[in-house]
Amino acid sequence: MTGQLTARTMLAAYAQGVFPMADSASDPRLYWFDPAQRGILPVGGVHVSRSMRRFLRRCDWHATLNNDFAGVVDGCADRPETWINAPLRALYLDLFRMGHAHSLEIYTGDTLIGGLYGLTLGGAFFAESMFSRRENASKAALIWMSVHLARCGFVLWDTQYPNPHLASMGGQTISRLEYRRRLAAALQVQADMISQPLPGCYDLLQEITQTS
């Protein structure tokens, strides 16, 4: 499949609810996945614990959008086992240049300590992966992205597979049929990841307080 897959065909696959992954970084092949159970997060409504709110009030972290897309992808792949191989990384970079892939970075000073990235189509955000080099950095990225997606008009936040970490932040598990129904509706929505500025830490705290 690797030879035929382009950024355009990848977008067409996502519009049908299908996505590619590799078995490992050393395997150049890619495989299609269409899970029977799909994970989603509530746009603008992730759960933020009291301890995380206190942490965000005290920390000196800040977030950026699309400041270091390649660095975030590489941070996500920097683990003993990864499904991000070189062909998939190249496709993500193509999608980023096309405006269909975006990253959110978490910094302390000038040091990248966490982040997440994903693809966009219509009002759907397909989260691919996240990483953390400091405790709570990936949680901070999810919280920032939740608020930003709502500001920009997104209605579906796909996380591919459900897991306990995402469930603790409000993640839900839905069937393939229900996912496709929500995806079809989301593709009719016009949303733009760069239509609104990323909130600063003060605005972020204000917004998550209002939605709690």
By three-state DSSP, how is residue 206 classified?
helix
Mean pLDDT of the chain: 94
pLDDT, tens only, 145-179: 999 999 999 999 999 999 999 999 999 999 999 99
Give the number of C-alpha atoms closer than 13 A to the C-alpha of residue 207, restricted to the C-beta side: 20
| Whether 107 contacts 113, CB under 8 Å | yes
Give CA–CA dist 149/198, Å, rounded: 10
pLDDT, tens only, 61-82: 999 999 999 999 999 999 999 9
| Whether 142 contacts 131, CB under 8 Å | no
Q: Residue 207: pLDDT band by 50, 70, 90 thresholds?
A: confident
Q: By C-alpha distance, which of 32, 15, 136 is closest to 83?
A: 32
